[in-house]
Structure 1
Amino acid sequence: MSFKEEIRSQLISYLNPSYIEVDDFSAEHSGHTGNPENKPEGTHIKIVLVSSSFLGKPKLEQHRMVYSILKPWMDRGLHAIILETSS
């Protein structure tokens, strides 16, 4: 399973989104400070999520929910996340 598929699977499992989009654009940052090893995946992602789990929660709390799910990947080098959440 690819990095992107792993994250997608976990987000679906925890948040049951009605819409999900996960894009890995790590290759575009090859050689940059955040990707000095030129990894083709796993350092830079964009996530768009629509989930009823976010209903009534402020954006900060929504983002914290997602970050807690992403922690294992952040520990392995994920460092740039563009995150759009809504209910």
Structure 2
Amino acid sequence: MAVEDEIRLKLEDAFAPRALTVKDDSAAHAGHAGAPAGGQSHFNVVIRADAFADMSRIARHRAIHAALGRDLVGRIHALALDVDG
């Protein structure tokens, strides 16, 4: 399964978002440090979910990292997050 799909599934399961966009931006970073030849290393996530309504920005990011899990986060070089409740 592609990393993009893993991210999407885990976030859908954890937060039941109203809106979710997961974009693989790896091609834009090809040749840069931390960008493996196979891609799937740089992602941009936009997520809107009621679960984030009363959380601080840091708590939101921590919740997303926890939902993705240590293994998946460890395979990602860069993860840009746009999170709102």
Calculate the TM-score normalised by the size of structure 2: 0.89
Question: Among residues 58, 61, 83, which one is paired with 1:60 in the alignment?
Answer: 58
Q: Deviations over 1:45-70 (max 9, x none)?
A: 00000001111111110011011123
Distance 2:6 2:30 in 1: 21
Q: Deviations over 1:61-80 (max 9, x none)?
A: 0011011123322222x021
Identical-pair percentage: 29
What residue is the counterpart of 1:72 in the other structure? 71
Runs of 4+ with >4 A deviation: none
Q: Tell me the secondary structure at the aligned position of residue 67 of structure 1.
A: helix
Count how many residue pairs are aligned between Structure 1 and Structure 2: 84
Calculate the TM-score normalised by the size of structure 1: 0.87
Please list, as runs of the form range in 1=range in 2, the aligned pairs for 1:1-87 lying within 5 A after superposition.
Answer: 1-35=1-35, 37-41=36-40, 43-70=41-68, 71-76=70-75, 78-87=76-85
Q: Unpaired segments of 5 or more residues in structure 2?
A: none
Distance 2:9 2:22 in 1: 10
Distance 1:52 1:29 in 2: 32
Q: CA RMSD in A?
A: 1.2
Instruction: Report the CA distance between 1:40 and its aligned residue.
Output: 2.3
